[in-house]
Amino acid sequence: MKAVIQRVLKASVLIEKHDQRSIDHGLLILLGIGRFDKLEDVIQLANKILNLRIFSQGNKMNESVLDVRGSLLIVSQFTLYADCKKGNRPSFINAAPSVHAKKIYNEFVNYMHQHQINCKSGEFGAHMEVSLVNDGPVTLIVDTKE
């Protein structure tokens, strides 16, 4: 699994131009699911994100999203698995097939909900417009295979 994690002052997702979900202070998580990702990857990545000390206490990043009682906005993004090495059209051969990816995505969202954190999500497979105000800016990439 791959995640682009952005510390935000606020973020929202507009789903199919009619359903908007938003958070204030917290993390926007763009989540990519690979072909071979399993439940173990869900737990590993979710725990890493929940415990990353990327919120500032003074001049030092020393608090997690749990410590600051922040929120999460989780958006599926298969394009994180794009392979752009050959030609000009990205290949998505390393992205999970839709049925598997949706199952893993839902497991990730459900796992986050279990941690008593305000958690919103986009809609798997839908066209979405994402807006955010990046705080810092702080943007990290986490890959369970690295």
Q: Is 78 a catalytic residue?
A: yes
Of these residues, 20, 36, 57, 79, which one is catalytic? 79
> Of 6, 55, 78, 108, which one is the catalytic site residue?
78
Amino acid letter for position 73: L
**Catalytic site includes residue 139:** no
Q: In what order do the strands lie in the sheet with 2-15?
A: 118-121, 71-76, 19-32, 2-15, 128-143
The radius of gyration of the chain from alpha carbons, rounded to an integer in Å, stands at: 15
Q: Which residues contact 103 (CB under 8 A, 6 or more apart)?
A: none
Catalytic, 79? Answer yes
Which of these is catalytic: 6, 55, 77, 108?
Answer: 77
Catalytically active residues, by annotation: 77-79
